Amino acid sequence: MVLGLCPDLSREFYSTPENLYQLPSFGNTRLLHFTDIHAQLLPLYYREPNINQGIGNEINFPPHITGEHLLNFFGIKKGSREAYAFSDVDFVEAASLYGKMGGMAHLATLIKQLRNESGLENTLLLDGGDSWQGSATALWTQGQDMLQLANLLGVDVMTGHWEFTYGVKQFKKNIAQFKGAFIAQNILLTEEAQFNQNTDQAEVFKPYIIKQLKNARIAIIGQAFPYTPIANPRYFIPDWQFGIQEQRLQVIIDEIKLAKKADVIVLLSHNGMDVDLKLASRINGLHIILGGHTHDAIPKPILINKTWVTNAGSQGKFLGVVDLAIEKGQLKACRYQLLPVFSNLLTPDQKIQTFINTIRKPFLKTLRHPLAVTDKLLYRRDTFSGSFDEILLNALQMIKGADISFSPGFRWGTSLLPNQTIYFEDLMNHTAITYPNSYVKVLSGQQIKAILEDVADNLFNPDPYYRQGGDMVRVGGMRYKINPAALMGKRITELRLANGQLLRANKNYKVAGWASVKTIATGKPMWEVASEYLSY
């Protein structure tokens, strides 16, 4: 396996506003890629991780490098705009200097500019999924706000993950209105569903699509999140089975190549980057993997054998640009750039901005209801903890009267700077899911350890194919030590309550949490619990 960075396929980093979005002419076909926007309509702050824990050889290689290590690895100047976009280094100071990022109206302006430069007939816009969930307006409209926005942007092809958590009925309603193509080679009907529907057709969606552009035929294969029924409640999609489906993917690639259906074969993936890196080492014939799910902002593509693997960040902060030089049905060269979307450098597209204002108007009073003021930087993204998660954990303990609290290690959720008002909308940016209810359980110390061990194995299993992405479950009212490189069942040690007492295996503890995957909780939604806590 060849593993390496690809500097020759990426332009150098530019830090001046004048040329940041001026890409020198290259090739004759362009792919634009965003992923994991999580329904963030407006410009925002989003701090990249300080810790993105890997194991073994991964520790010193993307995506498991952060901070100054990441800047040095990719040759990004400390203190530059790109350093602010791609790392957590001096985040508060940099945020004050460079401002908010993303915003769909600002992203739309950049998309339009890049399309016009290459020609509409030479450009595809690809959405890697997790775009229709993550905000109050997306939840309250059941994804309709982001669906309509996707159509206004002109998204050509997408795959998904959190989109499924609106349930099959709503999801199908949304997809029926989507003007692009939704593809996923790795979603099939269960055998029972095939029997009940009296069909031999296992495919739920088209596995791939061939897009005929002026200068090229591009094959886009869809790869939805393979662990959706495990990471999210199964009852949302009871008749569908997921998985990586590696062998099926290889058959599809071979079919495309044998029939000479396309000049370039692209996997539009929501696997997560660790899974994509392994997949690229085992699959033949893929030119590019445009990845998502793990929210890794990777400035330059990683070469695995003959496949370029990318991951385009999250929250609308970045737009991936793949420029291809295709001659006589052959890919001769390509260039990749992950462009940061700086809101103050891009004039918002007026059509998109008007749509956003219209969508938000009925909810504006509720969205802008103030709850508290921050006394420090609040963020979510880090492998083991996040300061915004601490609010949720404290709320669960206080309101539920619990000894210990759990909160899922979601990677979506905006950051708030010190001395900034926390509005209800900010809270929803961290809790807006379709299974938000809180719960209280009595668990033994042994059961608590087992839960932590199970989550740790999902994150740190030596085989990337057994990882589900996300971060470690957040825990309040206790602490523990973890060795990610240890064997299953041996990673978690020294579990102690906040007062320093060791947890006892056979002693019972009152545990509060939310977002239960395996059972239907009936307590208050997490945003109500946290709102009550912040009102004290």
Q: d(Cα 311, Cα 297) in Å, to the nearest integer? A: 6
Identify the structural domains of the chain with CATH numbers, from first to last. 20-46+101-357 (3.60.21.10), 368-534 (3.90.780.10)
pLDDT given for residue 8 in this prediction: 44
- Length of the chain equals 536
Tell me the mean pLDDT in the region 68-93: 97
Nearest residue to 294 (alpha-carbon basis) of 175, 152, 473, 128: 128
Q: What is the mean pLDDT of residues 6-22?
A: 62
Residue 474 has pLDDT above 80, yes or no: yes
With a CB cutoff of 8 Å and minimum separation 6, the contacts of 139 are: 133, 428, 432, 433, 434
Three-state SS at 83? helix
| pLDDT of 7 over the 70 cut | no
pLDDT tens for residues 371-399? 999 999 999 999 999 999 999 999 999 99
Average pLDDT over residues 462-475: 95
Mean pLDDT of 255-261: 95
The confidence score (pLDDT) of residue 10 equals 52
pLDDT of 175 above 70: yes
Note the pLDDT of residue 5.
41
Q: How confident is the model at residue 1 (pLDDT cuts 50, 70, 90)?
A: very low
pLDDT at 15 over 90: no
Which has more pLDDT, 57 or 304? 304
Q: Which residue has the higher pLDDT, 525 or 11?
A: 525
Mean pLDDT (whole number) for 287-304? 97
pLDDT of residue 3: 40
User: Residue 13: pLDDT band by 50, 70, 90 thresholds?
Assistant: low
pLDDT over 70 at 528, yes or no: yes
Residue 212 has pLDDT above 90, yes or no: yes
Q: What percent of the chain has pLDDT over 90?
A: 95
Buried b (16+ CB within 10 A) or exposed e, 394-410: bbbbbbbebbbbbbbbb
Output the pLDDT for position 62.
Answer: 97
Average pLDDT (155-162) is 98
Interatomic CA distance for residues 317 and 310, integer angstroms = 15
- pLDDT at res. 250: 98
The per-residue pLDDT for 2 is 40
CA 36 from chain center: how many Å? 4
165 touches 412 (CB < 8 A): no
Give 4's pLDDT tier (boundaries 50, 70, 90): very low
Instruction: Please provide the average confidence, as pLDDT, over all residues in the chain.
Output: 95
Q: What are the residues whose beta carbons fall under 8 Å from the beta carbon of 31, sequence distance 6 or more? A: 123, 124, 126, 218, 266, 288, 290, 320, 321, 322, 324
**In the predicted structure, residue 18 carries a pLDDT above the cut 90:** no
Token pair of 19, please? 């040329």
> Which SS3 state, helix, strand or coil, does residue 274 take?
helix
Mean pLDDT, range 110-125, rounded to an integer: 97
Nearest to 513 by CA among 416, 431, 450: 431
Q: What is the mean pLDDT of residues 86-100?
A: 98
Q: What is the pLDDT of residues 320-367, one digit of tens each?
A: 999 999 999 999 999 999 999 999 999 999 999 999 999 999 999 999
Residue 67 has pLDDT above 50, yes or no: yes
Position 19 confidence tier, pLDDT thresholds 50, 70, 90: confident
Q: What is the mean pLDDT of residues 49-62?
A: 94
Rounded to an integer, the average pLDDT of 235-257 is 97
Place 14 in a pLDDT band, splitting at 50, 70 and 90. Answer: low
Residues 276-287 pLDDT 10s? 999 999 999 999
What pLDDT is attached to residue 17?
A: 67
| Confidence band for 536, pLDDT divided at 50, 70 and 90 | confident
Number of other residues whose CB lies within 10 A of the CB of residue 58: 18
Query: Backbone dihedral region of 50: left (phi > 0), alpha (psi from -120 to 50 degrees) or beta?
Result: alpha
Looking at per-residue confidence, does 431 or 13 come out higher? 431
